[in-house]
Amino acid sequence: MTEPDDGLSAVMGERRGLLNLGYRLLGSLAEAEDVVQETYARWYAMSRDEQAAIECPGAWLTKVAGRLCLNVLSSARVRRETYVGEWIPEPLPDPDEWTTGRAVDPADRVTLDESVTMAFLVVLESMTPAERVAFILHDVFRYPFADVAEIVGRTPAACRQLASSARRRVRAADAPARRRSRDAEVVRKVKRAWETKDIDALIGLLDPDATVVADGGGLVSTVLHPVTGADRIVRALAHLEDRFRDQTFLERTVNGQPGLIAQRDGVTVSVYAFEIADDRVIRIWAVRNPEKLRQWTVETRH
């Protein structure tokens, strides 16, 4: 086994940055972790001389991880064509709310900021793999286009165009500025209205053109297509009332924003992320795919 040294510490110190990059590029913590593991496997597959010849290990690791993510994104587009129902990015709780039953190593934490809100991640899903990689590397992680070009396999000028195109997609989505305290109050009112079966209050909290998107991955039952319109959403919820009867709803942070989780016998079975504008809910993402709920599975605090 290799003895720990300053060089090893520096290399391992890149882990959190790579994980943050991978999650933003892939929208999946599980896939991001796989990419980080493969990146380090390639580093340790080299001889000491080969490692020593690399002037900036952090840049090398980022380049490898970025290319791996690009490959995953390209294959994911094909896989998602056969995905049952809608695909929603994997939701993440705040680190101190992770419920895996173990302390969360700082290196395993994803920084929850505006670049990981569910609304932002969904916009990223509309981009081509090359657009997404160029945009995230340059606009979020501030890598120069010369470095981005080496990862994407295009010229710096082409990468600049990719990022510009991605930027237009973000602007077109026109996600409203979030006001966490006010959003939390709206989410609290939604929870209260549902629990008390106050249908009028619930409809009043939804924008008339609100949309609900659900992701069961074909593993659990849920609506397969988006439901649009406040009245239709409430009717759909009423139709599913028996499913909710034995569930407990709790306020939690979802990707850095106020959200809800539903639990049955202490086990999280659904995570709800919200997009709110003018104190009304305009979009709800309901993640029920159990493979995307592993960070939420066992509630350890109340």
Domain CATH for 248: 3.10.450.50
Task: Tell me: do 160 and 228 sit in the same domain.
Answer: no
Is residue 13 domain-shared with residue 149, that is, in the same domain?
yes
Say what the pTM is.
0.88
SS3 assignment for 111-174? CCCHHHCHHHHHHHHCCCHHHHHHHHHHHHCCCCHHHHHHHHCCCHHHHHHHHHHHHHHHHHHC
**CA gap 163, 72 in Å, rounded:** 19
Residue 285 lies in a domain: yes
Q: Report residue 288: phi and psi, to 5°.
A: -120, -10
Q: Are both 32 and 136 inside the same structural domain?
A: yes
Domain count, the chain: 2
The answer to whether residue 11 sits within a structural domain is yes
**Domain housing 100:** 6-171
List the chain pLDDT tens, one digit each, 302 residues.
444 455 667 788 899 999 999 999 999 999 999 999 999 999 999 999 999 999 999 999 999 999 999 999 999 877 777 888 999 999 999 876 554 444 456 666 788 888 899 999 999 999 999 999 999 999 999 999 999 999 999 999 999 999 999 999 998 876 555 677 899 999 999 999 999 999 999 999 999 999 999 999 999 988 889 999 999 999 988 877 777 788 999 999 999 999 999 999 989 999 999 999 999 999 999 999 999 999 897 544 43
CA distance 232 to 224: 15
Q: Is 145 contained in some domain?
A: yes
d(CA 75, CA 58): 26
Same domain membership, residue 256 and residue 202: yes
Co-location of 47 and 158 in the same domain:
yes
Identify the three-state secondary structure at position 196: coil
In a domain, 29, yes or no: yes
